[in-house]
Amino acid sequence: MAHGPGERPLEDGIRTDFSTALDYGTYLGLDQLLSAQHPLSTPEHPDELLFIVQHQTTELWFKLVLHELTSVRRYLAADETSRARKALARVKHIFRTLAEQWSVLATLTPTEYVEFRGFLGSSSGFQSHQYRSVEFILGNKNAAILPVFDAKPEIRAGLAQLLDEPTVYDEFLRHLARQGFDVPAEVLERDVRQPWVEVPALIPVFGEIYADPEAHWGAYAVCEDLVDLEDAFQFWRFRHLRTVQRTIGFKVGTGGSSGVDFLKRALDLTFFPELYSVRTDIGA
């Protein structure tokens, strides 16, 4: 077959007949994925698709984050720190990607958003069960969130299960105890349904690790991985806050939260407080 100027011919080995073979779109479920965007504005606002895709993409990443953090927890429980570190690194990069993604939504101006915001009704990111699951598995447990999902029993049950299970940090501390570190019994026997609160008695444990990284390299490396993860998560939170502030100012959120003020308070939460507190003592 002749080709026109500048036309790129297909290589001979490229398959073109998929009548009986698995193709790209089928493998990825693109028919379902690309038909899952349903703007509600009337007439349809041209920027509502951006808003939907932004949040759907975030939820897809959250699905992978939960998959990886569940693996991290399992690896730590089995003392497989190398595999846990690989999964932690992946989650860190996901949150960096999510943080940068806010720059796309930030192209939505306040004037544009207000033109379709009313069509969102009471829907809000506050109701993201996957986000809540991420917070639960990292240590920010909160049973008061469960009633938000009463209308969806399967989702509520999944969150309730995570509430009852140890966090990534719990499993890391249990791992340290098995490696001979003096982790207090109160930590190992704590009620995992409760949100993590800083335990000053843990700081000497981390002080020992940081005082001699070469002797405790495995534990030391995981500590730094957890700090990397928290930094990436907090930067994502901060970019969320700034994007919301530039888009709606200080309006109340669509789900009834205080909006920017609610997001600001989230920045005060920390998953691994002892890993930050120990830094004050290093080299003192």
The answer to whether 55 is a known ligand-binding residue is yes
The answer to whether 16 is a known ligand-binding residue is no
The answer to whether 136 is a known ligand-binding residue is no
Give the C-alpha distances (Å, rounded to integers) separating 207 from 187, 199, 202, 213: 17, 13, 9, 10
The answer to whether 83 is a known ligand-binding residue is no
The answer to whether 54 is a known ligand-binding residue is yes
Give the C-alpha distances (Å, rounded to integers) separating 50 from 59, 114, 129: 14, 14, 21
**Alpha carbon distance 90, 12 (integer Å):** 37
The answer to whether 51 is a known ligand-binding residue is yes
Contacting residues for 168 by C-beta, under 8 A, at least 6 apart: 69, 72, 73, 76, 137, 138, 139, 226
The answer to whether 52 is a known ligand-binding residue is yes
The answer to whether 254 is a known ligand-binding residue is yes
Tokens 């897809």 locate to 60
The residue ranges of DSSP E strands in 87-219, in sequence order, are none
Give the C-alpha distances (Å, rounded to integers) separating 276 from 151, 205, 210: 39, 13, 12
- As annotated, the binding site for substrate includes 51-55, 113, 117, 254
- As annotated, the binding site includes 51-55, 113, 117, 240, 254
- As annotated, the binding site for heme includes 240
